Chains A and B, each alone.
Chain A
């Protein structure tokens, strides 16, 4: 992992399109601003990890645990 020390007001560039602003440090919290292309989703890590875990758990469902698709299911929306 790359480790960089930054002071409030300083920034980090990830490539040309993503800017991380270190805005202020209050007590043990850092306020961080992120400028990224709007197509790029930005998540708090703990939310991302919890959703990933739920998605993985959902994807472990076996075929017969839920109603089966109809034979022509792929033709319908």
Chain B
């Protein structure tokens, strides 16, 4: 049976049971145990992770590989055991986005990705090198044709 939540940002939304993601440990510092990913019509690489428990709580999250092609997620043994996911590449991975004005200055948290597998989600600490908490989201997106990018 679908859940109806009256979200602060988007008004009432019907969430199908299978779209609900259980977060056994919530998000770090934010809590919440159930969230849903809200897709958009444009197929944009950034979607909203909406809390089911708190209608005012939602975070924009991105598929990291759309923005950081060589992004890597490395979990410690204890973290992999905790979430029961040994290969993050086999799960869905999202990174939280810090929205700023201007939008060109948005950053993503590559250090604490969200790993979703089989309807459950965990925010984990990424042990990989070069995984900053505030990575400029648009730094690696192709700039208007330059000699280098055309080559």
**A–B pairs, 17, beta carbons within 8 Å:** A38-B82, A41-B28, A43-B28, A51-B123, A52-B29, A52-B30, A55-B30, A55-B59, A59-B30, A59-B57, A60-B99, A61-B58, A63-B9, A66-B97, A74-B16, A75-B15, A77-B37
A44 nearest CB across to chain B (Å): 9
Contact (A48, B99) CB under 8 Å given A54-B134, A74-B19 = no
Choice from B19, B58, B103, B109 contacting A59 with Cβ under 8 Å: B58
User: Count the A residues whose beta carbon is within 8 Å of the partner chain — how many?
Assistant: 35
Binary A-proximity of B106-126 (CB < 8 A = 1, otherwise 0): 000101100000000001010
- Whether A1 sits at the interface, judged by CB under 8 Å, is no
- Decide: B40 and A68 in contact? CB cutoff 8 A: yes
- Whether A65 sits at the interface, judged by CB under 8 Å, is yes
- Tell me, in angstroms, the Cα distance from A39 to B59 when the chains sit together: 24
- Decide: A51 and B19 in contact? CB cutoff 8 A: no
B59 nearest CB across to chain A (Å): 4
Contact (A76, B19) CB under 8 Å given A38-B81, A41-B82, A69-B10 = yes
Choice from B18, B30, B50, B133 contacting A77 with Cβ under 8 Å: B18
A-B contact count (CB 8 A): 129
- Decide: A58 and B98 in contact? CB cutoff 8 A: yes
User: Count the B residues whose beta carbon is within 8 Å of the partner chain — how many?
Assistant: 50
Taking Cβ atoms with an 8 Å cutoff, the residues of B that contact A are 2-3, 9-10, 13-16, 18-19, 24-25, 27-30, 36-42, 44, 46-48, 50, 57-61, 78-79, 81-82, 96-99, 101, 103, 109, 111-112, 123, 125, 133-134
B90 nearest CB across to chain A (Å): 16
- Decide: A74 and B14 in contact? CB cutoff 8 A: yes
- Decide: A55 and B96 in contact? CB cutoff 8 A: yes
